[in-house]
Structure 1
Amino acid sequence: MQKTRYYSRKLWVWVMLMGLLAFAAIGVSQLVEMFISDELAKSLGGGSADRLLNIIASAMLSVTIFSITVMVSVYQSSSTQWTPRIHRLIMLDRTTQNTLAVFIGAYVYSLLGILLRELGIYTDDHAFVLFWMTVLVLIVIVVSLVRWVLHLQGFGQLIDITRQIEDTTRDQFKERLSQPCLGARPFVDDRPDNTRAISSWESGYIQHIYPEAMNAAAKEHNVDLYLADNIGSFVFLDAPILHVHQRGDDLDWDSLCEQVRVSLIIGDLRTYDQDPRFGLIVMGEVGSKAMSPGVNDPGTAIDVITRIGRILSYYKDETEVTPEEVLEHFYVRPLDPADLLRDGFGALSRDAASTLEVQQRLQQTLSGLMQHPDKGLSAAAKDFAVKELERATQALVFEPDREALRASAHKAVGGD
């Protein structure tokens, strides 16, 4: 299931599916043509279908090139203006992927139709179904064009980008908390003493884990697997990545290692999938870049702080939530609320230490998180607020600004 979702986010997968759909549409039109009466089949000449196919073939090539140009421009401007990590999120935009896939699929359909007409497979007396199938393709193209134009009105704009990051991070955050520790047992205590480490087979970030496959491998070999680092962590070559606690006497170590390598993906870049912390980092980078001298946009930093606060409000202690089906042989470390706060607010609060309005909003947001029912997040928010208050009071040079921040922070830290 997770592998299916992983590949469903790839642009080339959607393009390939639309291309196959174009082949299927041509094949279906041929089959339907067999059931059309001669009188009805001859009611439309082949020239009508030829004109439509030529229009699609010429238009789709131009529209596809234009759309790709727009995508590249948005990627470059967003990466330059805000953070390069946004680039990969925009690439996952479903509307963009669907639109490009439809355009390329329609182009393939028109080329196939023209080719079959030239080969004489579709004669003038048997082009009735081809004509109406082409009309249906045109309708799909028009609908996709309208959606694409509406999408371009906000595509690549800052408000659209921050909303997209927030939505993606929130979805990953909710998904992670709906299956605490990826459905595995929480790894909170020290691992057993008699464990054997599986070393990393390459240097890179832990991008994706298939927990069901990992648990199945552990069950097959009668072992328990302890994930040394969480998703998004960087591991070095030959560093311990999993600790194996052997339950039985016999163990096929090579087979276990091979199954683990298939179930754990290591890459050179962090991804948003299964990694809500990465989304928080990217959100914080946007706010941090907004506070750079070249941008100087406190409003964006304030907006980012609010969005991060909304995301963190969904936090639940993974050790206190029991998933519907626990993977008994696999252990994963739960998310640490202190890490989440540092990922989201760390760089932003440091770069905006001398900006009163941003620091006040940060204290207000942390104050709200202090009221969270989870004691771990509440305590972590209070500690973070105290540290950031000290940093900001040292950075602010105007005494009335320091007094204003102390006044707002006094309420945020509960009078301590």
Structure 2
Amino acid sequence: MNKIQFLWGKLVSTFWFIPILIVVLAIGMAIGLLYLDNLYNYQPSGVVQLVFSGSADSARSVLSTISGAMIGVAGTVFSLTLVALTLASSQFGPRLLNNFMHDRLNQVVLGTYIATYVYCLLVLNSVSQNDSLQFIPTISVFMAILATVANIILLIVFIHHIAISIQADRVIADISSSLSRNMKTLFPDQLGEGNEKPTPNLDEIRNKFQQNSVLLAGEGGYLQYVDEGLVTEIASELDILLLLQIRPGAFVVEHQQIGEIYSLAPISPGDLDRIQDAFIYGQSRTTQQDAEFSIHQMVEIAARALSPGINDPFTAISCVDNLCSTLCYLTRVQFPLPYRYDEENVLRVVTDSLTFEGMLNAAFNQIRQFAVGSPSVMIRLVEALKTIHTLSEDQEQREAVERHTRMIVRAAEKHFDEKNDLQDLKERSNFALQT
């Protein structure tokens, strides 16, 4: 079931699924309204007659105009939008285009324009007037006019959305919101709320098994998803211990070793295939189980902002502030333990789990390396680390923050030309230098 949910999440985030779904709904609406027109011979009167006279020529003219306009506007708007986003991606990174494609409003706008075009074609095809037959779908035509008015309003909203979606602050805020939602999904437990168990003795457990084999990747690419529930269930059924050596987000090549299997008897190729089916690979990383991916998106924006060609420390500082907020949240969550037990409380799977130090490294290592020539960004990094240090819940977290702070100080001592800037940074990093 978890694997199906993952595949469904990938499907609805594509750029084509929602538009096609809207087109299918438009086809159903056209058939339904045409059937309604066939049942009730509605003749427009009053205000409605001012909009649509009810003649066959009028219906053909209205529907032809709407269908031509909708497909033309859809092509023009999205061509210009993709050009603008391509230019923006050179500043923020190519992943910006993926964020645009996954944007629900963009998908709805594309689907709505194309759906209106298809709807008008179907209704237009049904209009007929001759000596033996006359069918003018008044209700269907009037619905097409209402859809056109709605599309005009949607076009205004869409242009406004695109205009603000490529602004640096908005891009960073969107990624920060996605990052925050992702972290709350992957790390829902607060410290003290998890059901922690004593750390098992892996050497003792492994010695109970006579066979040792390796688990190879079934295909190459980025590991996008691991169905841990399915893996644990299979491991319990086969009475094995599985030690995974990679986690979602890692890149593997076909037949690369991704784990070790300890068993009482040799594992059959069919059972190995069952285990490998719990792993999903792809050409790119996703956020559903890869907690570091959204962080890397933010880091990429900061790194590009600090490049000599752009030299925008304000954008980098904004990225640091948002990463600080995320890491402050991570100081009070319960990171999942690497041990997975079956229903009988027997250890079956040991995963490569995330740690606070690993998340801190992903957030600040590359920014520190790119920011050595920007004292303002380095000073903001120290301020962010000081805030994280204040909110850290245990000694390991504080030691990781202090280590990063000392690395920043050493980098500043080598690259800062102004002594006052270096002194300012050291004063803010006293919390780490005194330990």
For residue 313 of structure 1, give the secondary structure of its aligned residue in structure 2. Answer: helix
Q: Distance in 2 between matches of 1:293 and 1:313?
A: 30
Query: Following TM superposition, by how much is the alpha carbon of 1:10 offset from its aligned partner in structure 2, in angstroms?
Result: 0.8
Letter in 2 for 1:318: F
Alignment correspondent of 1:348: 367
> TM-score of the superposition, structure 1-length normalised?
0.86
Alignment correspondent of 1:196: 213
Query: Following TM superposition, by how much is the alpha carbon of 1:67 offset from its aligned partner in structure 2, in angstroms?
Result: 2.6
Q: Distance in 1 between matches of 2:397 and 2:383?
A: 15
Q: Indicate how the Cα distance of structure 1 residues 11 and 214 shifts in structure 2: closer, same or farther if over 3 A, else same.
A: farther
Alignment correspondent of 1:400: 420
Q: Which of 85, 103, 106 is equivalent to 1:75?
A: 85
Q: Indicate how the Cα distance of structure 1 residues 85 and 307 shifts in structure 2: closer, same or farther if over 3 A, else same.
A: same
1:144-200 Cα shifts (integer Å, max 9, x gaps) = 2232122022122212221222122222121111289xx999998658534532201
Indicate whether 1:359 and 2:378 are aligned. Answer: yes
Q: Distance in 2 between matches of 1:205 and 1:136?
A: 46
> 2:222, 2:249 within 8 Å by CA — same for their partners in 1?
yes
Q: Which of 243, 250, 255 is equivalent to 1:233?
A: 250
Q: Distance in 1 between matches of 2:252 and 2:320?
A: 30
Q: Distance in 2 between matches of 1:63 and 1:262?
A: 44
Aligned length: 408
Structure 2: gaps (5+ residues):
none
For residue 270 of structure 1, give the secondary structure of its aligned residue in structure 2. Answer: coil
Letter in 2 for 1:353: V
Q: Distance in 1 between matches of 2:288 and 2:281?
A: 13
Query: Following TM superposition, by how much is the alpha carbon of 1:58 offset from its aligned partner in structure 2, in angstroms?
Result: 0.9
Alignment correspondent of 1:66: 76
Alignment correspondent of 2:224: 207
> 2:175, 2:294 within 8 Å by CA — same for their partners in 1?
yes
Q: Distance in 1 between matches of 2:86 and 2:198?
A: 41
Indicate whether 1:111 and 2:121 are aligned. Answer: yes
Q: Which of 9, 12, 24 is equivalent to 1:8?
A: 12
Task: Identify which range, 70-79 or 92-101, moves more after superposition.
Answer: 70-79
Letter in 1 for 2:316: A
Alignment correspondent of 1:369: 388
> 2:56, 2:129 within 8 Å by CA — same for their partners in 1?
no
Q: Distance in 1 between matches of 2:75 and 2:195?
A: 46
Q: Which of 277, 281, 296 is equivalent to 1:266?
A: 281
Alignment correspondent of 1:173: 183
Query: Following TM superposition, by how much is the alpha carbon of 1:409 offset from its aligned partner in structure 2, in angstroms?
Result: 1.2
1:1-34 Cα shifts (integer Å, max 9, x gaps) = 3322221101111121012112101111133234
Task: Identify which range, 86-95 or 256-265, moves more after superposition.
Answer: 256-265
Letter in 1 for 2:328: S
1:257-308 Cα shifts (integer Å, max 9, x gaps) = 3334433221233233322201111211211111111111111111110011
> TM-score of the superposition, structure 2-length normalised?
0.83
Q: Which of 105, 119, 137 is equivalent to 2:147?
A: 137
Alignment correspondent of 1:26: 30
Q: Distance in 2 between matches of 1:322 and 1:44?
A: 71
Q: Which of 317, 322, 343 is equivalent to 1:302?
A: 317
Structure 1: gaps (5+ residues):
none
> 1:224, 1:245 within 8 Å by CA — same for their partners in 2?
yes
Query: Following TM superposition, by how much is the alpha carbon of 1:322 offset from its aligned partner in structure 2, in angstroms?
Result: 12
Query: Following TM superposition, by how much is the alpha carbon of 1:37 offset from its aligned partner in structure 2, in angstroms?
Result: 4.9
Q: Distance in 2 between matches of 1:75 and 1:380?
A: 38
Letter in 2 for 1:370: H
Q: Indicate how the Cα distance of structure 1 residues 216 and 409 shifts in structure 2: closer, same or farther if over 3 A, else same.
A: same
> 2:223, 2:248 within 8 Å by CA — same for their partners in 1?
yes
Letter in 2 for 1:9: S
Q: Distance in 2 between matches of 1:187 and 1:138?
A: 64
Query: Following TM superposition, by how much is the alpha carbon of 1:245 offset from its aligned partner in structure 2, in angstroms?
Result: 4.4
For residue 198 of structure 1, give the secondary structure of its aligned residue in structure 2. Answer: strand
Q: Distance in 1 between matches of 2:150 and 2:214?
A: 54
For residue 281 of structure 2, give the secondary structure of its aligned residue in structure 1. Answer: strand
Q: Indicate how the Cα distance of structure 1 residues 358 and 384 shifts in structure 2: closer, same or farther if over 3 A, else same.
A: same
Letter in 1 for 2:369: R
Q: Indicate how the Cα distance of structure 1 residues 78 and 329 shifts in structure 2: closer, same or farther if over 3 A, else same.
A: farther
Indicate whether 1:55 and 2:70 are aligned. Answer: no
Q: Which of 388, 401, 404 is equivalent to 1:384?
A: 404
Q: Distance in 1 between matches of 2:364 and 2:328?
A: 14
Alignment correspondent of 1:279: 294
> 1:40, 1:128 within 8 Å by CA — same for their partners in 2?
yes
Q: Indicate how the Cα distance of structure 1 residues 38 and 73 shifts in structure 2: closer, same or farther if over 3 A, else same.
A: closer
Q: Which of 319, 322, 327 is equivalent to 1:312?
A: 327
Query: Following TM superposition, by how much is the alpha carbon of 1:335 offset from its aligned partner in structure 2, in angstroms?
Result: 1.4
> 1:45, 1:125 within 8 Å by CA — same for their partners in 2?
no
- Cα RMSD of the aligned pairs, angstroms, is 3.4
Q: Distance in 2 between matches of 1:403 and 1:142?
A: 58
Q: Distance in 2 between matches of 1:264 and 1:186?
A: 26
Structure number with greater Rg is 2
1:184-223 Cα shifts (integer Å, max 9, x gaps) = 9999865853453220123321122334444454455454
